[in-house]
Chains A and B, each alone.
Chain A
Amino acid sequence: MDFIPHTDVERQDMLGAIGVKTFDELVAHLPLSKNELKVPTGLAEGEVIRLAHELASKNQGAGKLLSFLGAGAYDHFSPAAVSALMSRGEFLTSYTPYQPEVSQGTLQTLYEFQSTICEITGMDVTNAGMYEGASALAEAVLLALRETGRKKVLLPRSLHPDYRSVVATYTAESQVELIDIPFKDGRLDMDFVAAHLNEDVAAIVVQNPNFFGVVEPVEALGPLAQKSGALFIACVNPLSLGLLTPPGDYGADIAVGEGQCLGIPAGFGGPFLGLFACKQKWLRKMPGRLVGQTVDIEGKRAFVLTLQAREQHIRREKATSNVCTTTALIASCATFYLTLLGKQGFRDVAYQNLARAHYAKEQLTGIPGVRLAFASPVFNEFVLQTNVSPEILNQKLLAKNILGGVPLKKWFPEIGNASLWCFTETKTKSDIDALARTLREVL
């Protein structure tokens, strides 16, 4: 099946208009492949849908399994209006809004996105979106390295391991020293921070809540960073900001994060939404696209891509980043979601996450052989230690249609048989009770 409209007669006519008899004349100058591609023959739409159903049935997810996985990708309820709006062809099949006169839909939506992210983070400016959280963090670190000219970066051990890997990949060739900040009871070791945050450090990164779900003592970091001249980069879970202090209030220079929790499906890891917000002073140094408000020649309010002199298509090798196409549609999605939630809903969702996670914490830690790894405060995730290895435990749970917490041993062998569990507003009391019951059975 293809999507080409030409009839044989039209094709012949068009070749004639070009002045050739056959198509082959148009590609006579190419070193054409002699062999036919070893790609399956085409399918009709009905056939491909059937194939897709078969493939989808080999995946087991929500609906079949009760999942307590989080760790950077979350199961939140997303109103039907979000996907309905997202699938409108005018949003879905438009290009980057380089022609503002016929792109006001995308442009205004992205301006509203920037506005809502500024509201929830308390930051001065937000760009129109990055690929996803980890590479957004890497871009923030690159900005700090560029602007300070320093070569050390403090990265918590309690940062999401994938995020750490991505920062390492992005900085592999710039002679940068990544220094691990150890954790104490699941939180930043502040003595280590105080001892190492000095004039050689380009940036200190903190994730809040961190990879273990623990709420970090972020309020202490701003003054320390400022004293040393290092940039303070906060990597936040935007949904937690319904309850938690926003990075703008604790002096972060840059706030990044993963926006997937804002109404976007987990989708086996993507497409997600990188958030990048900063203080006004870094505006002209930030990566990515920015939408600004202006007027047209008749004085009418209108929106346009602006401050493009930072970007690769103008500045080439002197650009602040190489990003071009990122994730406008997903940013729009987050805007629809946050707008539907509204002021109260945004707080309520965060509150329900907190309440359900704490109910679960109480239920699960009452089970013999299960204990909390850390006593520090948490939001909607926490680390459990179990008498048996999480891999074995998860196999037993899977047999009962439950996806257990993420095993942590490959990244954090020092905390033993530990796994990370997540409880969002989608988990009911009976889901949590069922998990507790099953855990008692299998342990």
Chain B
Amino acid sequence: MEPVIFEKTQAGRKGYCLPALDVPSVDPATFLPSASLRATPAALPEISELDVVRHYTRLSQLNFSIDTHFYPLGSCTMKYNPKVNELVAGFTGFKAIHPLQPDSTVQGFLQVYYELERMLAEICGMAEFTLQPSAGAHGELTGLLIARAYHKYKGDVRKTVIVPDSAHGTNPASAMIAGYNVVTIKSLANGRVDTAALKAALNKDVAVFMLTNPNTLGLFETDIKAIAKMVHDVGALLYLDGANMNALVGLVRPGDLGFDIMHLNLHKTFSTPHGGGGPAAGPVGVSQALTPFLPVPRVRKTDQGYSLEESAPLAIGKMRAFNGNSLILLRAYIYIRCLGREGIRKNTEAAILNANYLQAKLKDRYQSAIDETCMHECIFTAAKQKPNGVKTLDIAKRLLDYGIHPPTIYFPLIVEEAMMIEPTETESRQTLDYFIDVMNKIADEAQATPDLLKKAPLTTPVRRLDEVKAAREPNLRWKQTSAVPQPSTSPFAR
């Protein structure tokens, strides 16, 4: 394994060069009070540029990624991230722009914002979008604060948000931060809304019903229009968690189904890279009645060009400093312009085709959680492997040995031993067939050599970890005193 970078430090070594100081040198103590001056320098590592590059390049090689491996992680939509998006995001005319420049000097960026908002509104059937939220959960919070502001404005303050038990954990967590009480309702076994349970939970105190559609079991909510009516009848709003929107774009528009608020995860549906856990972007779309409450700034188009407007009396305020994750938004814009309306629909069709193909091919050896046509992902369980003592976790870990990233496991919570498989549209039939072969082989292994699975993975850079130790004795930063493992004799040894 690669040492921690601090362990490679050599006092006095440099990996960085500043221009010579061409202004008079000063004594910091003449300008700053002595109490404000740092007493001891920060003990950052002292490494040459080559060794920094080598260290992080070698670390990168310990990762699975879309560029290197099949990554059928359910709900996370690990589709190909086109390189052209990266190229454009690196243009100086985008990258080196300060967020507080005068509007006249950022017309290109404002045009991207304006057109992206319009395209997302058209694709989703919503009146307007804000591009400000930094990620999906940030979008949820934005959407819920909009709902609060809307009800408050109408003099109808409400305190409850309803969330199905199949929802992503961010839904109830966001509702809590927005100041709501959360009521969880049971879903049907297929993850669809139990309309009787919903009806029982709905009343005049309910502000929002948050729904993921297709749901977290990969099924479309067929009763959606009736659900929307029930929600609207008590004066509540219907929120779409757009995590699975890649199953709908080009086929169905949430606005047409009765959704009032929704967020998109651009790093899922619109293919911006996940970066090992961000950065992302979580634009929020709303119906016409909610547009006055969108956060500021808003991008407007006038005869003089595009401008940023800060004044909106009913707006919820700002969700973050400046405008938004502009370079991420730009990638999504470029992606949509590449796809065009034909490509958007074609993507969705291929995603659904791939998921149904896997569902059809895997169901002999694995227990399908649901026996009906799926959308962009399918759910299996380890029920058939259970008699041999093999769990979903073991199957997931064994996949690593075959060079495949596991599906999302143990989610949704309502399916025991769940494996949520989302192949995405960019995977070829050959990749899917390899995955099917590997899954079948693992099913054989589960019968013949179950212990092998429980020990898996065997070939990865590290094996199963002691997570209990990590939590009980938290070691969250390198310290000089940390026990350092014996260095290997060669700096290139693995």
Q: Residue B25 at the A interface, CB < 8 A?
A: yes
User: In the complex, which of the residues A38, A69, A160, A242 contacts B42, with contact meaning CB atoms closer than 8 Å?
Assistant: A242
Assembled-state Cα–Cα distance A95/B278 (Å):
8
A388 in contact (CB, < 8 A)? no
Within B33-55, the residues touching A (CB, 8 Å) are: 33, 35-39, 41-47, 49, 52-53, 55
Tell whether, in the assembled complex, residue A215 and residue B32 are in contact, meaning their CB atoms are under 8 Å apart.
yes
| B9, chain A: closest CB distance, angstroms | 8
Given A112-B4, A120-B44, residue A6 in contact with residue B428 (CB < 8 A)? yes
Report whether B66 and A89 are in contact in the complex, using a CB–CB cutoff of 8 Å. Answer: yes
Cross-interface CB contact of A268 among B97, B174, B352, cutoff 8 Å: B97
Q: How far is the CB of A262 from chain B (nearest CB, A)?
A: 11
Task: Tell me which of B72-80, B193-201, B439-447 binds A.
Answer: B72-80
CA distance A341 to B474 in the complex (A): 28
Q: Are B23 and A429 within 8 A (Cβ)?
A: yes
Residue-by-residue, is A387-398 near B (CB-CB < 8 Å gives 1, otherwise 0)? 000000010001
Evaluate whether A30 and B82 lie within 8 angstroms (CB atoms) in the complex, with A6-B350, A43-B340, A339-B45 already known. Answer: no
Binding-face segment, B231-239, B284-292, B317-325, B384-392: B317-325
B-chain residues with CB within 8 Å of residue A292 when the two chains form the complex:
470-471, 474-476
Q: Which of A163-171, A191-199, A365-373, A435-443 sits within the interface?
A: A163-171
Count A-side interface residues using an 8 Å CB cutoff: 201
Q: Does B295 count as interface, using CB distance less than 8 angstroms?
A: yes
Contact flags A74-107 to B (C-beta < 8 A → 1, else 0): 0101010101110111111111110111111110
Q: What CA separation (Å) do A241 and B41 show in the bound complex? A: 9
Select one of A61, A88, A215, A316 contacting B173, CB under 8 A. A316
- Cα distance A350–B350 when bound, in Å? 52
Task: From known contacts A72-B322, A92-B81, A295-B469, infer whether A53 and B173 are also in contact, taking CB-CB under 8 Å.
Answer: no
The answer to whether B44 touches A100, judged by C-beta atoms less than 8 angstroms apart, is: no
Q: A268-B94, A340-B52 are in contact. Are A346 and B42 (CB under 8 A)?
A: yes
The answer to whether B462 and A27 touch across the interface, beta carbons within 8 angstroms, is no
Task: Given A10-B429, A94-B64, A270-B326, decide whether A295 and B465 contact each other with a Cβ distance below 8 A.
Answer: yes
Identify which of residues 60-103 in chain B touch chain A, using a CB-to-CB cut-off of 8 Å. 60-69, 71, 73, 76, 78-82, 84, 86-88, 90-102
Chain B residues whose CB sits within 8 angstroms of the CB of A32 once the complex forms: 251-252
Contact B320 A132 (CB under 8 A): yes
- The segment out of A150-158, A225-233, A306-314 that lies at the interface is A306-314
Q: Which of A331-361 contact B (CB under 8 A)?
A: 332, 336, 338-349, 351-352, 354-356, 358-359
CB distance from B93 to the nearest CB of A (A): 3
Name the distance in Å between B134's Cβ and chain A's nearest Cβ.
4
Is residue B220 within 8 Å, beta carbon to beta carbon, of the partner chain? yes
Mask, B1-26, CB within 8 Å of A = 1, is 11011100000111110110111111
A302 part of interface (Cβ distance < 8 Å) = yes
Q: Which residues of B contact A115 (CB under 8 A)?
A: 4, 6, 477-478
Min CB gap B296→A, angstroms: 8
**Does A179 make an interface contact (CB < 8 A)?**
no
Q: Does A406 touch B at the CB level, under 8 Å?
A: yes
Given known pairs A61-B92, A61-B97, A398-B105, the reply for A135 and B5 (CB within 8 Å) is: no
Mask: chain A, 47-69; 1 = CB below 8 Å from B; 0 = not:
01101111111111111010101
Tell me the complex Cα distance, A79–B56, Å. Answer: 15
Residues 237-296 of B contacting A (Cβ, < 8 Å): 250-253, 256-257, 265, 267, 273-280, 295
Contacts of B28 in A (CB 8 A): 243, 351, 354
B416-433 Cβ-contact flags toward A at 8 Å (1 or 0): 000000000111110000
Identify B476's interface contact among A6, A55, A135, A290, CB under 8 A.
A290
B208 at the interface (CB under 8 A from A): no
Interchain CB contact (< 8 A) of A45 among B338, B360, B469: B338
| Chain B neighbourhood of A5, CB < 8 A | 426-429
When the two chains form the complex, which single residue of A85, A99, A134, A403 contacts B56, counting CB atoms closer than 8 Å?
A: A85
With contacts A56-B92, A349-B18, A355-B23 taken as known, whether A95 is within 8 angstroms of B76 at the C-beta atoms is yes
Near A by CB (< 8 A), chain B positions 451-478 give: 457, 460-467, 469-471, 474-478
Report A262-311 residues with CB < 8 Å from chain B CB: 265-272, 283, 289-298, 300-302, 304, 306-307, 309, 311
Decide yes or no whether B172 CB sits under 8 A from chain A.
Answer: yes
Among candidates B123, B323, B426, residue contacting A3 with C-beta atoms closer than 8 Å? B426
CB distance from A72 to the nearest CB of B (A): 6
A148 contacts B by Cβ under 8 Å: no
With known contacts A14-B429, A33-B251, A244–B397 Cβ distance under 8 A: no
**Interface bracket on B:** 35 or more
Q: B109 in the interface, Cβ–Cβ < 8 Å?
A: yes
Contacts of B182 in A (CB 8 A): 316-317
**Min CB–CB distance A130 → chain B (angstroms):** 9
Q: Distance in Å from the Cβ of A347 to the closest Cβ of chain B?
A: 6
Q: Which of B84, B273, B279 has the most CB of A within 10 A?
A: B279
Q: Is A434 an interface residue (CB 8 A)?
A: no
Shortest Cβ distance from residue B456 to the other chain A in the assembled complex, whole angstroms: 9
* B227 in contact (CB, < 8 A): no
- Residues of chain A within 8 A (CB-CB) of B44 are 116, 119-120, 338-339, 341-343, 345-346
**Pick the contact of A73 from B175, B322, B477 — CB < 8 Å?**
B322
The distance in angstroms between the C-alpha atoms of A133 and B280, with both chains bound, is 15
Bound CA–CA A134/B13 (angstroms): 35
Say yes or no: is B206 at the interface (Cβ < 8 Å to chain A): no
Indicate with 1 or 0, residue by residue over B95-139, a CB within 8 angstroms of chain A CB atoms. 111111110111111011000000100110100000000111110
Q: Which of B385-415 contact A (CB under 8 A)?
A: 396-397, 400, 405-406, 411
A-side contacts of B13, CB under 8 Å = 342
Q: Which chain A residues numbered 129 to 187 have a C-beta less than 8 Å away from chain B?
A: 129, 131-135, 142, 160, 162-163, 165-166, 168-170, 172-174
The answer on a CB contact under 8 Å between A315 and B173 is yes
In the A-B complex, the 8 residue pairs with the smallest Cβ-Cβ separation, listed nearest first, are A42-B340, A56-B93, A329-B275, A89-B67, A173-B179, A269-B322, A271-B279, A58-B108
- A to B CB contacts below 8 Å, 24 in the list: A4-B347, A10-B428, A37-B345, A38-B122, A42-B343, A49-B84, A60-B101, A89-B68, A91-B276, A92-B67, A95-B277, A104-B461, A116-B45, A128-B277, A165-B318, A166-B321, A169-B316, A169-B318, A265-B95, A266-B96, A270-B134, A312-B137, A322-B176, A345-B15
Other CB < 8 Å A-B pairs besides A14-B429, A269-B99, 11 of them?
A37-B345, A38-B341, A95-B76, A97-B277, A108-B4, A135-B319, A217-B33, A270-B325, A336-B52, A342-B14, A354-B26
